[in-house]
Structure 1
Amino acid sequence: MQELVEFIAKSLVEHPESIRVEQIQKEDETVYRLYVAPEDMGRIIGKQGKIAKAIRTVVKAAAVKSGERVYVDITDGLTDEY
C-alpha cells in the first residue's frame, strides 16, 4: 500500500525526489503520511481537494481486499509532527 501511495504521488508532482511516505500503525488502522515538497502541495491537493480525495479513494479501495482501514495524511516536507 505504501508503494501505491508513493507511485501515485510521484506521478503528479514536479519534484518526485522529495516524495516520502511513512507508515504509521495504530490499533486498528494504518495511516500513510505523505510528505510533499511545499511547492508541490497544490498539485497533490488539486482544486477543491479533488486530487487528494481521489488518492484517498484509490488507497481505501485497494485496502478493502485485505480488510484494512487506511488513511492518507498529506503534509509538506517541512512538517514532522503528528
Structure 2
Amino acid sequence: MKELIETIVKPLVDFPDEVTVQVTEEDNHIIYLLSVNKNDIGKVIGKQGRVAKAIRTIVYSAGSLQQKKLIIEIGK
C-alpha cells in the first residue's frame, strides 16, 4: 500500500524525492503518514480536498480486502 501511495503522489508534486510514507500499524487500523515538501501540500490536498479525497478513495478500494481500517494523514 505504501508503494501505491508513493506512485500516486510523486507525479503530482514538484519535489518527488521528498515524498515519504511512514506506516504505523495498530490493533484495528493502519495509519499511513504521507509527508511532502511544504510547497507541495496544496497540490496533494487540491481544491476543497478533492485530490486528497481521490487518493484516499483509491487506497481504500485497494485495501478493502484487509481486516484493518486504513487511515491516510497528509503532512509536511
TM-score of the two chains, using structure 1 as the length reference: 0.88
For 2:72 and 2:54, the matched residues in 1 are separated by 11
1:2 maps to which residue? 2
1:27 Cα shift?
1.1
Residue aligning to 2:26: 26
Say if 2:35 is the partner of 1:46. no
Give the number of equivalent residue pairs: 76
Structure 2 partner of 1:62: 62
- Superimposed CA distance per residue, residues 31-77 of structure 1 (whole angstroms, 9 cap, x where no aligned partner): 1000010000010000000000111111000001333311110001x
Q: Secondary structure at the match of 2:63?
A: helix
Runs of 4+ residues deviating >4 angstroms: none
Residue 13 (structure 1) aligns with: 13
The one-letter amino acid of 1:51's match is V
Which sections of structure 2, spanning at least 5 residues, go unmatched?
none
Using the aligned pairs only, state the percent identity. 38
**Gaps spanning 5+ residues in structure 1: where?**
77-82
Q: Secondary structure at the match of 1:42?
A: helix
Name the Cα RMSD after superposition: 0.9
Q: What's the TM-score, normalizing by structure 2?
A: 0.94
